[in-house]
Amino acid sequence: MSAYQCELFGHFVYSEDLSYADLLERETDFTGALDRLLRDMGAAHIDFTPTGDALRVQCMFADAEDALFHSVCDAAAPLLANDIKGKMLFVDKDLAHISMYYLEKSAWKEAAIALPGAREALNRAEPDPEPSANLDSIPPQKRSASRR
C-alpha cells in the first residue's frame, strides 16, 4: 500500500502590477512560506516550478481528506494578499474524488467532484454517434480499448 493517498497540484499567478524585481522578491517569500505550510501539514515530495509570472507546486499527502484540504486552504489563502491568485487540485489516488480550490485575496472556494467507478460511468455514457478521431489511424491493439 502506498504511503501517500493524495497528490496536490497547485498553480499560483502573480499580479501583472508587480515589477520584475518585486515579483522575484514576492516569489521567494511566497515559495518559502508555502513550503513551510505544506511541510507543517504533512506534505512530502514537494516540488516548486517557477514559470515566469506563475508558480507551480506539486506534493503528496498521506490522506485524502476534506478536513486536510480545507486546513491547507485556510493556511494558504492569507499568503496570497492582493498580488497572487491560485488554484489547488487535490487528487485522491484511487480516482474516487477530486477537489479543486480557488484562492484569492485571503479567501478560497471549493469545487469538489465525486468520480463514479468505471462500470457506473460506462453504463451512464451516451453512445458517441461520430468518433472524435479517425480510429482507422490507431493501431488495432490500442483501438480495441476505445470501442464499446
Q: Where are the domains of the chain?
A: 6-118
Say if domain 6-118 classifies as CATH 3.30.70.600: yes
List, as own/partner pairs, every contact residues 110-116 make where C-beta atoms lie below 8 angstroms and the sequence separation is at least 24, other chains included.
110/69, 110/70, 110/73, 112/66
Encode pLDDT of 34-93 as tens digits: 999 999 999 999 999 999 899 999 999 999 999 999 999 999 999 998 999 999 999 999
Identify the band that residue 141 occupies on the pLDDT scale cut at 50, 70 and 90.
very low
pTM above 0.85, yes or no: no
